[in-house]
Structures are given as C-alpha cells and as structure tokens.
C-alpha cells in the first residue's frame, strides 16, 4: 500500500483527452499523458483492501471480474506512488507481456471490481498501467531479451493477434524456436487491423513486433495456413502447433436487401480503412468510404463504437447506431452487484465524438433493422427499422418482439453490421480434424488448451469465442506453458 489515507485525500482523475472536435480531424491517439505527480496521487488511492478483487480474474455473470491475467495491481500502484517506476514495470511484466496494448484498449474489468469502487470512483488502474509501460519504453528499460539456450524444439503459431503473440513470446523465452504465421500483410491480427489507429497507434504494435523478432521469433506474413500451405504440411515440419486464429466469422443479418451495395460487415470496413491508412494515408482510395453518407451502424460494443469514430473521421453526413438492448441505467442495478462488471450507461469515444458533432448520442436503443431499401441500381438508400420489446418465450428465454406501428425508414447509404462474431473460420480446423464445441470453437479445456489432435493446441478467441484482448493474452500465456510441458515434460513459464 502506497499511502494509507490516499483514497480519502485524492479524487479520481483521468488523463485529459484531446477535444472531440479536434481529434476527428486525424487518426492519432486521443489520450494525452498525465504528469507524474498526478499519477502518483492516483496510485496512492489504492487501498489496503485485504482481498484485492482487482486482480482475481474470475467470471461472474459470464463477464470478467478483476484482471484476467492477474496483474499485481496493488503492488505496482504502491510503487508508482513511491516513484519506483522501474520496479513497477518489473511487477507489471510478471503477468503481462504487452501492457502497452492493454493500457490502451482493455475495458478494465479490474476497475469494475475495485474495492474502493463500492462507494467511491475506483482507482484509475488502466491509465497507471499505460503510464508504466510507456515509461519503460521511454527510459529504455524495455529491451530485447534473447534466450541464452535453445531446446531444439520447434513451434508453429497460427495467427498473430494478442493470443498468438503472447504464446510466441513465452515459448521463445522457454528456448523453443517459434514461427508465427499470419495471412495478412502485417503482423498483429486484431491489434493491427481490428482496432482503429486512434485507439491503438500501429507504431506501437510494430514496436513490440520488432522487439519479438529481435528476441528470435520468426514472422511469416501473407501466408494463410490451410490454403497457401496445408495444415498437415505445417504440422509435419513442427513439433507443436498453437491455433490462435481468432473468432473472425461475423454474425450476419439475413434480411431483405442484404445484397445491396453499401451494406458491409464492420470488420471489412475497419480493416480496409487501417490498411489504406498505413499504406498511403488513405490516398489510394482502397477502403470503404463514409464521406458524405448517412451511416447506420447496426450493433453496439467496441466494434460499433469504432465504426462510429471511423465514419466521423471520414466526414460522414450523419451516423446512427442501432442497439437492440435497452439503454443501461446510470448506476448499478440490484441485479448487477459489485464486483461484477458494471453494466451502466457511458459514452465511449465514438459516441462522445458523435454527440459533439451531431448534438446527441447516436445510439437508439431497443431498435432493430427489418429490411434494407435500395434504388434501381442496387445501391442502399435507407433502412426500415422498428422498436422492439424483450419478452420470455415458452422456455423462459428472453426474445425480441416487434412493437406494432413503430416501423419507420431512416436514410442510409452505408450500413455497417457490428453484431459480433459467431466463431472461428472452419477450414483450418477441418483440415486438421480438430473437434469443435457447440459454438464451432476448437474444443480445448481452459488451462490445458490441447485439442483432440496430439501436438495441436488452441488459445484465445478460437477456443473461447469472441472476448477481450486481455483474455487472449491470458490464454496465449497458458497455452505456451502447456506446449512447453508437452515438448520437454515440465515448464517454468508463469
């Protein structure tokens, strides 16, 4: 504990963001750095709470409660308060390979279960984590750590998102020779092409990739395992394989007009934008433009928010976001007690920007799309939407029911489907003969990660379904430990 009375003396403060009106003019990160003195005060707010729920990493009501990678949060909060930044970084790296990523994009379930948060605003854990990581890079403390010896064992990691990179980093440190295969032209998976630049500048993704390469990890891009190289050919070349292919099959909306020009999956929109931004700063035109268009984003969550923020930076005419769920309450409901993740209303960065530009939150709740409307040339011109209510069916499950007479048409020349993902793409799993669960994920027990095929392991969204970056890191690290045991009989990996 840094300061016994800190939580009584200091109020919660977050780093200042650039104004919404200014930041939508570019693709740069919008969070500004906080001065050391303020960070030390925020670290001092961490309580001597006895049981630090912030790093328990459990699942409550199907959501994360506490840090899924069990970050030693109270320890590095106290060290930051004392100005011992190098020691704080050491504690952070004990559990987290990539704090520069989680400090930017994690929704911080740790803060949702902070004990101080029972009756006060919780400790600013996420911004302190970010500051520790960036201090480490700025001071030159984070450098390549090349393994002293090699085991002679080889591992192929399929997919270079957070789970794949975490597994590769850990296995490389254990002395195994690791090759990461990525079908895109750049390494990073979700981190590179799934998260927009204003949330996670790709400079920082490449910085970590370069560091891993310096440590001995081999990266192969533009290679889709299962097509460019068969799964069995790859399996024959390596002693073990880790499937970290993500859950990239998007949930579709098969309603009338789905084939109209202008209706796209959200991830196609976001990926093309980031690739064009990196290739030519959008000068090549190789992206789906929202400029001058009425945009309707169907679905909430982070992906929907990212579509809103990206559309505004394209200078769209307007943006509306349809949410099928009701508007969350301003405070925790009685059915959402601490330390569960607080399901409360908030403005994320995209909605905040839309409110600044359009004058109101772009989200309309309890609303669904019924059909897409087009012109004679097959181009989208509007969407018929209606209000819904949630009722229970004969089996007691909640189902949406249309509200009669609530139908109306909204103008739209671009519709973005951001309704989540339904599992991993199946070709590679089928080639290998990997068993799948009822949700089409690779069947592998959490904590063991071994699939039905000997020597083949699965981690991240490919195993657990669509989830958080921090859960992917958890699984990548866990899978690495199990692969290490498989290869040499035991493991000292954390």
With respect to residue 147, please indicate whether it lies within any of the assigned structural domains: no
How far is residue 42's CA from residue 332's CA, in Å, rounded to a whole number? 24
pTM for this model (two decimals): 0.96
With respect to residue 145, please indicate whether it lies within any of the assigned structural domains: no
Q: Answer yes or no: do 319 and 395 share one domain.
A: yes
Q: Provide the phi-psi class of 159: left if phi over 0, else alpha when psi is between -120 and 50, else beta.
A: left
- C-beta of residue 297 within 8 angstroms of C-beta of residue 304: yes
**Averaged pLDDT for residues 22-36:** 95
With respect to residue 144, please indicate whether it lies within any of the assigned structural domains: no
Last residue in a domain, options 138, 167, 185: 138
With respect to residue 271, please indicate whether it lies within any of the assigned structural domains: yes
Domain CATH number, residue 190:
3.50.50.60
The torsion angles phi and psi of 142, rounded to 5 degrees, stand at -95, 105
With respect to residue 255, please indicate whether it lies within any of the assigned structural domains: no
pLDDT at 1 over 80: no
pLDDT band of 64, cuts 50, 70, 90: confident
Q: Answer yes or no: do 272 and 409 share one domain.
A: yes
Least-confidence region, from 30-34, 162-166, 186-190, 455-459: 30-34
With respect to residue 256, please indicate whether it lies within any of the assigned structural domains: no
Length of the chain: 494
Our count of domains for the chain comes to: 3
Q: Answer yes or no: do 241 and 364 share one domain.
A: no
With respect to residue 494, please indicate whether it lies within any of the assigned structural domains: no
Last residue in a domain, options 109, 138, 167: 138
Measured from the Cβ of residue 189, the count of other Cβ atoms closer than 10 Å reads 28
Q: Answer yes or no: do 297 and 236 share one domain.
A: no
Q: Provide the phi-psi class of 482: left if phi over 0, else alpha when psi is between -120 and 50, else beta.
A: alpha
Q: Answer yes or no: do 352 and 325 share one domain.
A: yes
- C-beta of residue 462 within 8 angstroms of C-beta of residue 159: yes
Domain CATH number, residue 41:
1.10.1060.10
Q: Answer yes or no: do 158 and 238 share one domain.
A: yes
Give the percent of the chain with pLDDT over 90. Answer: 95
DSSP string, 299-316: --HHHHHHHHHHHHHTT-
SS3 379: strand
Q: Answer yes or no: do 217 and 281 share one domain.
A: no
Q: Answer yes or no: do 289 and 353 share one domain.
A: yes
Q: Answer yes or no: do 82 and 217 share one domain.
A: no
pLDDT of residue 386: 98
Q: Provide the phi-psi class of 424: left if phi over 0, else alpha when psi is between -120 and 50, else beta.
A: beta
SS3 182: coil
Q: Answer yes or no: do 400 and 270 share one domain.
A: yes
How far is residue 212's CA from residue 221's CA, in Å, rounded to a whole number? 15
41-59 pLDDT, tens digit per residue, is 999 999 988 889 998 888 8
In 3D space, the residue among 347, 305, 288, 299 whose CA is nearest the CA of residue 325 turns out to be 299
With respect to residue 258, please indicate whether it lies within any of the assigned structural domains: no
pLDDT of residue 8: 93
Range of the domain at 390: 263-417
Inter-residue long-range contacts of 436-439, CB under 8 Å, 24+ positions, other chains counted: 439/465
pLDDT band of 464, cuts 50, 70, 90: very high
pLDDT at 60 over 90: no
Q: Answer yes or no: do 119 and 105 share one domain.
A: yes
Last residue in a domain, options 363, 386, 417: 417
Q: Answer yes or no: do 387 and 365 share one domain.
A: yes
């Amino acid at each position: 504990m840094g300061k016994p009375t800190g939580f009584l003396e200091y109020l919660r403060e977050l780093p200042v963001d650039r104004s919404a009106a200014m930041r939508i003019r570019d693709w740069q990160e919008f969070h500004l750095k906080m001065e050391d003195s303020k960070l030390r005060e925020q670290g001092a707010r961490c309580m001597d709470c006895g049981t630090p729920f912030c790093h328990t990493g459990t699942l409550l009501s199907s959501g994360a409660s506490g840090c899924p990678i069990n970050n030693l949060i109270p320890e590095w909060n106290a060290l930051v308060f004392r100005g011992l930044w190098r020691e704080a970084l050491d504690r952070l790296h004990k559990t987290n390979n990539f704090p520069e990523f989680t400090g930017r994009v994690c929704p911080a379930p740790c803060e949702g279960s902070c004990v101080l948060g029972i009756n006060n605003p919780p400790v600013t854990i996420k911004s302190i984590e970010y500051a520790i990581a960036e201090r480490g890079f700025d001071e030159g403390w984070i450098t390549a750590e090349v393994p002293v010896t090699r085991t002679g064992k080889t591992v192929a990691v399929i997919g270079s998102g957070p789970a794949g990179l975490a597994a590769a980093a850990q296995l490389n440190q254990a002395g195994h020779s690791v090759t990461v295969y990525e079908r895109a032209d750049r390494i990073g998976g979700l981190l590179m092409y799934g998260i927009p630049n204003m949330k996670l500048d790709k400079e920082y993704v490449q910085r970590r990739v370069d560091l891993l390469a310096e440590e001995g990890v081999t990266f192969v891009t533009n290679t889709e395992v299962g097509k460019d190289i068969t799964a069995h050919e790859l399996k024959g070349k390596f002693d073990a394989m880790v499937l970290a292919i993500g859950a990239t099959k998007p949930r579709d909306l098969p309603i009338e007009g789905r084939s109209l020009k202008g209706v796209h999956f959200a991830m196609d929109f976001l990926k093309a934008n980031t690739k064009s931004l990196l290739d030519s700063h959008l000068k090549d035109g190789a992206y789906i433009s929202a400029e001058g268009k009425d945009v309707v984003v169907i679905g909430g969550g982070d992906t929907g928010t990212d579509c809103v923020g990206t559309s505004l930076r394209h200078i769209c005419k307007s943006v509306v976001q349809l949410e099928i769920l009701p508007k969350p309450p301003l405070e925790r409901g009685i059915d959402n007690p601490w330390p569960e993740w607080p399901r409360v209303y908030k403005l994320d960065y995209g909605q905040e920007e839309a409110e600044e530009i359009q004058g109101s939150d772009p989200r309309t709740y309890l609303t669904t799309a019924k059909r897409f409307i087009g012109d004679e040339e097959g181009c989208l011109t509007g969407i018929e939407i209606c209000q819904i209510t949630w009722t229970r069916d004969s089996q007691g499950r909640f189902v949406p029911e249309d509200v009669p007479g609530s139908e109306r048409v909204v103008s739209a020349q671009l519709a973005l489907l951001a309704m989540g993902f339904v599992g991993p793409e199946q070709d590679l799993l089928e080639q290998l003969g990997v068993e799948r669960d009822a949700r089409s994920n690779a069947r592998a027990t959490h904590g063991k990660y071994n699939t039905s095929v000997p020597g083949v392991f699965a981690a991240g969204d490919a195993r657990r379904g669509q989830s958080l970056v921090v859960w992917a890191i958890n699984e990548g690290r866990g899978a690495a430990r199990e692969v290490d045991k498989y290869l040499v009989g035991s493991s000292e990996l954390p």
